[in-house]
Amino acid sequence: MPSFASELRRQLAARVAEPGPGRRAELAGLLDAAGTVDETGATVRTTSAPVARSVVRLWRSEFGLESGLTTYSPGSFGRQRYAVRVEGNRAVQAVEELRVERGRAVRGGAAGISYLRGAFQGAGSLTGPGYRRGHHLEFVHKSEEFVRRVARLSPVPLKVAHRRGRYVAYTKSAEGVTAILARMGLHDAVLEYEARAIVGEAKANANRVTNFDAANANRTAVAAALQGEALENLDPGSLPPALREMLELRLENPDASLTDLARLGGLSKSAANHRLRRLVEIARGGAQG
């Protein structure tokens, strides 16, 4: 099953087939995020087949360039990787034109949004909604300049950090995630993310309550067992009436909680707790009375 981030890349790549402005800015974002440029042309590498096909379409529609699409040995986690290559004088010229397009994009507006879409396809990732460690959307790249450019184009503030030799711009808030998805035009994904995040949070809360109840039940059982062991050798006839009644309640109800014992004895919880502590003291050699 594809990850949530993979599905977002697929949706963004599918938009390239639709007519409209911004395609060059999107290709500029993709080239900056996942491409390399040399003396004879440019190569964009990706693990996403839809993104690779999108890059092929963009080179053709915007510059009339036919690309070479190749696959190579699987990368991390066994994922197939794709390389889209354009070469020749026209390709070199196209790269220069995309640098001009990048300059337009950094000023924001529609070009900035398109650049952000390309940047996410090439260098973005997002944990699925309901992930146990919380919300996390990030752009990762070896270039600090690229990462800070993306951060400037984000509709919400992104933190920038240096991590394991790469720069990262990220947000860990649900509002930040949905704002960026909305800026990229992924409105259906926003609704899905919010819905799935609510379900995930509800499940997490239910698990926390279940674990808390189980821990409380375990503590109650251990305390009752220890009390039973301490009290079972006491002589009821040597105890005052109030303590004798509590001793009988505890021995007759070995698994009962303090709250249950208080209810059975018609006592407050604090009174029941005081009598039990007194019984334990007596059982351990304290003075009777």
Q: Residue 244: which CATH number?
A: 1.10.10
Assess contact for 118 and 33: CB atoms under 8 A.
yes
* More confident: 89 or 127: 89
245 and 152 in a common domain:
no
**Mean pLDDT in residue range 38-51:** 95
Quote the CA–CA distance of 84 and 93 in Å, as a whole number. 17
Confidence of residue 181 (pLDDT cuts 50, 70, 90): very high
Look at residue 198 in the predicted model and tell me its pLDDT. 53
Q: Please name the helix (run of DSSP H) or strand (run of DSSP E) that holds residue 231, with its range, or none.
A: helix 187-231
71 and 178 in a common domain:
yes
Quote the CA–CA distance of 228 and 251 in Å, as a whole number. 6
Rounded to 10°, the helix 109-123/23-34 angle is 40
Quote the CA–CA distance of 256 and 275 in Å, as a whole number. 15
Neighbours of 88 (CB within 10 A): 12
154 and 47 in a common domain:
yes
Assess contact for 65 and 59: CB atoms under 8 A.
yes
Assess contact for 141 and 167: CB atoms under 8 A.
yes
164 and 260 in a common domain:
no
Coil, strand or helix at 137: strand
In order, the DSSP letters of 138-179 are EEEES-HHHHHHHHHHSSS--EEEEETTEEEEEE-SHHHHHH
14 and 140 in a common domain:
yes
Greatest distance between any 2 Cα atoms in the chain: 106
> Is 278's pLDDT higher than 90?
no
Q: Which candidate, 21, 72, 19, places its Cα nearest to that of 43? A: 72
Look at residue 131 in the predicted model and tell me its pLDDT. 61
> Is 263's pLDDT higher than 90?
no
* Structural domain count of the chain: 2
170 and 249 in a common domain:
no
Coil, strand or helix at 236: helix
Q: Which candidate, 56, 70, 200, 73, places its Cα nearest to that of 129? A: 200
Look at residue 42 in the predicted model and tell me its pLDDT. 97
Quote the CA–CA distance of 251 and 51 in Å, as a whole number. 71
The CATH number given to whatever domain includes residue 87 is 3.10.28.10
* Range in 11-20, 108-117, 243-252 the model is least confident about: 11-20
Q: What is the CA radius of gyration of the chain?
A: 33
- pLDDT tens figures, 48-85: 999 999 999 999 999 999 999 999 876 555 678 999 99
Assess contact for 125 and 137: CB atoms under 8 A.
yes
Asked if the structure places residue 289 within a domain, the reply is: no
**Mean pLDDT in residue range 118-139:** 85
**Mean pLDDT in residue range 115-142:** 87
In percent, the amount of the chain with pLDDT more than 70 equals 81
Q: What is the mean pLDDT of the chain?
A: 83
In percent, the amount of the chain with pLDDT more than 90 equals 49
pTM of the model: 0.66
Quote the CA–CA distance of 256 and 205 in Å, as a whole number. 27
* Range in 14-18, 100-104, 271-275 the model is least confident about: 14-18
Look at residue 209 in the predicted model and tell me its pLDDT. 47
Asked if the structure places residue 225 within a domain, the reply is: no
Q: Please name the helix (run of DSSP H) or strand (run of DSSP E) that holds residue 1, with its range, or none.
A: none
- Beta strands (DSSP E) in 17-122 are 35-37, 41-46, 68-72, 81-87
* More confident: 15 or 34: 34
* Range in 26-30, 138-142, 257-261 the model is least confident about: 257-261
- pLDDT tens figures, 190-229: 888 877 655 444 444 444 544 554 555 455 555 555 566 6
Confidence of residue 260 (pLDDT cuts 50, 70, 90): confident
Domain that holds residue 275: 232-283
> Is 184's pLDDT higher than 90?
yes
